[in-house]
Structure 1
Amino acid sequence: MKKVTLEMLAMKAGVGIATVDRVLNERGGVKPETVRKVLNAARKAGLQRLLPEEASQPWKIEVFLSSQESFFFRQLAKEFAAVADTLGYKKITLYRTLVPESSPEKLAKKIIESSTQRDGIVVFGHDYPVIHEALAHCKIKGIPVITLATDIPDAERLCHVGIDQQQAGATAGLLMSKTTPGEGDVILVSGRMDFRAHTQRVAGFRDVLQQRSPQLHLRSVLAGQDEKQRIRSLLNNTLRTAKNVVGIYNTGTGNSDIADILKQHQLAGECTYITHELYSVTKQLLLDDVLDFTLDQNAQQHAALALNIMLRHLEQGFVPDVYQDGKVALKITTAETLG
């Protein structure tokens, strides 16, 4: 009798070889109707082995996040767990893995490993060749990937979930323009300039400020690199020489340090201050009239959208628009809206 192979069963069931392997080895994450097709094909072909039950298994989803100790990533990890709990253990098994942003090779390796064990991957990563290669590997293996918070353009991903980062910077520029009277200098403190989200925020802010407020002079960008001491040193040195600072925009972390330096130079509450993320520090700065606006990315919506789109794709074959279906709304907060 001719040997029954995975390739043979895949052809009979009209599915991929990887799907047949998942069904026969009970690795989960396959639609019930597809499980039935594969098992029926195996029975008809006379496969000589104990076949699994047709009960569906929970989808195995792995989320890769930055291990950076910032509010946004801590909150993201919590929100993914909360959404998974709401869906229930019979629907989804969630794995959360934290990887340093400065280790793209490590992240790429973990993504490739995950593609052999999971049904879907959600990843926060940056635009490095090794990450592109890892996502291309997932595409070949048939494992969908959703990028999160910062996009990886032209990579093999199902879609992107997050705010429009350039639009966020442009919004900050518009707020600065509308609320800062008179002429003066504006200081921009950036996170890591080798990260796409920060370069997009900077570009959006600069473009709007130049178009709408030529009387506001944007000084050289202070590349704080999300390092507290570096931010303090750069800002302190700049304020020693600047004569008329009327605004400051921070694209990354270090808000408490920036507030301290502004107080030392008697600028707290005297210049327009705009930053990102609403958390305990920025809430207090808003209430203390040191900070004027926060632009929040809404971690909960990131988690809910990413898992919802992934499940719709796995269960129904839904193919999302790369950007529109995963677009997260930016939330602007002031002291008055804190309630």
Structure 2
Amino acid sequence: MAHRYKIREIAQQSGLSEATVDRVLNRRPGVRETTIAEVDQAIADLDKQRAQLRLNGRRYLIDVIMQTPRRFSDAFRAAVEAELPAFAPAMLRARFHLWEAGSTAQMVDTLGRIRGSHGVILKAQDEPHVAEAVDRLVDSGVPVVTYTTDIPASTRSAYVGIDNHGAGVTAAYLVQQWLGDSPSGVLITLSRAVFRGEGEREVGFRSALRGSGRTIVEVSGSDGIDASNERLVLDALASNPGIEAVYSVGGGNVATVAAFEKLNRPCRVFVAHDLDADNRRLLGEGKLSAVLHNDLRADARLALRLILHERGALPAEAARPVPIQVITPYNLPAQG
């Protein structure tokens, strides 16, 4: 059976005889599982060595483009910058294009002005014009990896992030467990409906609470910014006196807490996303019940690896949904 490495190379790497390696590669009977594992490990080691040779001395410029609240972009930027040195002997640099609120046209314009890039990590609206702008980048030879929210109709290389529908179901489970027999309604806060990931979270949440009899009220359009979110939440609470729980899909949680306090209303359960600086403080103060979080450095590492694979510098790597961590005030991880 043909193999990407010569039998002699694998034998040298594994310390086994060429005859033994040949038996493993051709799946002949009578080979011990430990011997097969040794050959598999030798091949994996050769893959790593080949990748290092491809990376040696290479320079890559990665663009990170995100419309997102600053508290999240600051956290992800720090994660990317922390991971860049891990790709030595290659030299990776990153350019950041970050803003909190804007139009589809602004996103399309930013994508259209990218020059000299080896790849893009993108958090953007799932809109036809954005998908077309992504397609133009990919056609020009620039791979695009979407992050936290997908644009599946585009020719992006991969999506990196949590299973957003599963996250919404998880949030509903937590809310239902904490509320118990209380008839409380639930407020869902989204940053903006054009982000596919947020819509998937909301759908998962609503589907899991179907049949519960709970009133679910949605507010959207704040871009996750506190100054915009507080008025939306105040209006929703004033119109719905039975709301005592929140699922924050898109952020603006400082404002949501402030709105409950201004109206002297209890918030019995508050589930949010992302362990940014605001949420870390609110969780420590007991104003959030739980935060659904994922390791941003692991996300950044995977996104960068996927781009380098598209450039032919690293072997293929599967882009699987990122595991969700349920963080409470009692398992709050130390800041890295």
Q: Same fold (TM over 0.5)?
A: yes
Find the counterpart in structure 2 of residue 191 from structure 1.
191
The one-letter code matched in structure 2 to 1:146 is V
Distance 1:141 1:230 in 2: 38
Find the counterpart in structure 1 of residue 132 from structure 2.
133
Distance 2:117 2:213 in 1: 54
- Does the Cα contact within 8 Å between 2:143 and 2:156 map onto a contact in 1? yes
Distance 1:162 1:208 in 2: 21
Find the counterpart in structure 2 of residue 16 from structure 1.
none
Find the counterpart in structure 2 of residue 309 from structure 1.
306
Find the counterpart in structure 2 of residue 121 from structure 1.
120
Distance 1:294 1:284 in 2: 11
Query: Out of 310, 322, 330, which is 1:328 matched to?
Result: 322
Q: Secondary structure at the match of 2:116?
A: coil
Distance 1:296 1:238 in 2: 26
Assess, with a 3 A threshold, how the Cα gap between structure 1 residues 126 and 326 changes in structure 2: closer, same or farther. farther
Assess, with a 3 A threshold, how the Cα gap between structure 1 residues 279 and 97 changes in structure 2: closer, same or farther. closer
The one-letter code matched in structure 2 to 1:145 is V
- Does the Cα contact within 8 Å between 1:158 and 1:320 map onto a contact in 2? no
- Does the Cα contact within 8 Å between 1:119 and 1:144 map onto a contact in 2? yes
The one-letter code matched in structure 2 to 1:304 is R
**How far is the alpha carbon of 1:178 from its aligned partner?**
1.5
Find the counterpart in structure 2 of residue 38 from structure 1.
none
Q: Deviations over 1:191-210 (max 9, x none)?
A: 11122122122111111111
**How far is the alpha carbon of 1:241 from its aligned partner?**
4.1
**How far is the alpha carbon of 1:128 from its aligned partner?**
2.5
Length-normalised TM-score, structure 2? 0.73
The one-letter code matched in structure 2 to 1:284 is R
Query: Out of 256, 261, 264, which is 1:263 matched to?
Result: 261
Find the counterpart in structure 2 of residue 237 from structure 1.
235
Alignment of 1:149-188 (within 5 A): 149-182=148-181, 183-188=183-188
Assess, with a 3 A threshold, how the Cα gap between structure 1 residues 279 and 134 changes in structure 2: closer, same or farther. closer
Gapped runs of 5+ residues in structure 1?
1-32, 34-53
- Does the Cα contact within 8 Å between 1:187 and 1:248 map onto a contact in 2? yes
Q: Secondary structure at the match of 2:287?
A: coil
Find the counterpart in structure 2 of residue 299 from structure 1.
296
The one-letter code matched in structure 1 to 2:332 is L
Are positions 1:200 and 2:190 aligned together?
A: no
- Does the Cα contact within 8 Å between 1:159 and 1:320 map onto a contact in 2? no
Q: Secondary structure at the match of 1:205?
A: helix
Alignment of 1:278-293 (within 5 A): 278-293=275-290
Assess, with a 3 A threshold, how the Cα gap between structure 1 residues 242 and 301 changes in structure 2: closer, same or farther. same
- Does the Cα contact within 8 Å between 1:72 and 1:299 map onto a contact in 2? no
Distance 2:95 2:196 in 1: 23
Query: Out of 220, 223, 226, which is 1:223 matched to?
Result: 220
Assess, with a 3 A threshold, how the Cα gap between structure 1 residues 148 and 61 changes in structure 2: closer, same or farther. farther
Assess, with a 3 A threshold, how the Cα gap between structure 1 residues 199 and 86 changes in structure 2: closer, same or farther. same
- Identity of matched residues, %: 21
- Does the Cα contact within 8 Å between 1:274 and 1:294 map onto a contact in 2? yes
Length-normalised TM-score, structure 1? 0.73
- Does the Cα contact within 8 Å between 1:79 and 1:303 map onto a contact in 2? yes
Assess, with a 3 A threshold, how the Cα gap between structure 1 residues 76 and 229 changes in structure 2: closer, same or farther. closer
Distance 1:96 1:152 in 2: 21
Distance 2:147 2:196 in 1: 12
Distance 1:144 1:55 in 2: 17
**How far is the alpha carbon of 1:177 from its aligned partner?**
1.2
Distance 1:298 1:284 in 2: 18
Q: Secondary structure at the match of 1:64?
A: strand
Q: Secondary structure at the match of 1:187?
A: strand
- Does the Cα contact within 8 Å between 1:305 and 1:326 map onto a contact in 2? no
Assess, with a 3 A threshold, how the Cα gap between structure 1 residues 152 and 241 changes in structure 2: closer, same or farther. closer
Query: Out of 254, 278, 288, which is 2:252 matched to?
Result: 254
How many residues are treated as equivalent by the alignment? Answer: 278
Assess, with a 3 A threshold, how the Cα gap between structure 1 residues 172 and 120 changes in structure 2: closer, same or farther. same
Q: Secondary structure at the match of 1:315?
A: coil
Distance 2:214 2:244 in 1: 8
Distance 1:303 1:295 in 2: 18
Poorly superposed stretches of 4+, deviation over 6 Å: none
The one-letter code matched in structure 1 to 2:234 is N
Q: Secondary structure at the match of 2:97?
A: strand
Assess, with a 3 A threshold, how the Cα gap between structure 1 residues 60 and 258 changes in structure 2: closer, same or farther. same
Q: Which moved more, 1:310-319 or 1:148-157?
A: 310-319
Q: Secondary structure at the match of 1:136?
A: helix
Distance 2:106 2:315 in 1: 30
Assess, with a 3 A threshold, how the Cα gap between structure 1 residues 279 and 148 changes in structure 2: closer, same or farther. closer
**How far is the alpha carbon of 1:265 from its aligned partner?**
3.2
- Does the Cα contact within 8 Å between 1:124 and 1:147 map onto a contact in 2? yes
Distance 2:187 2:56 in 1: 56
The one-letter code matched in structure 2 to 1:200 is E
**How far is the alpha carbon of 1:150 from its aligned partner?**
0.9
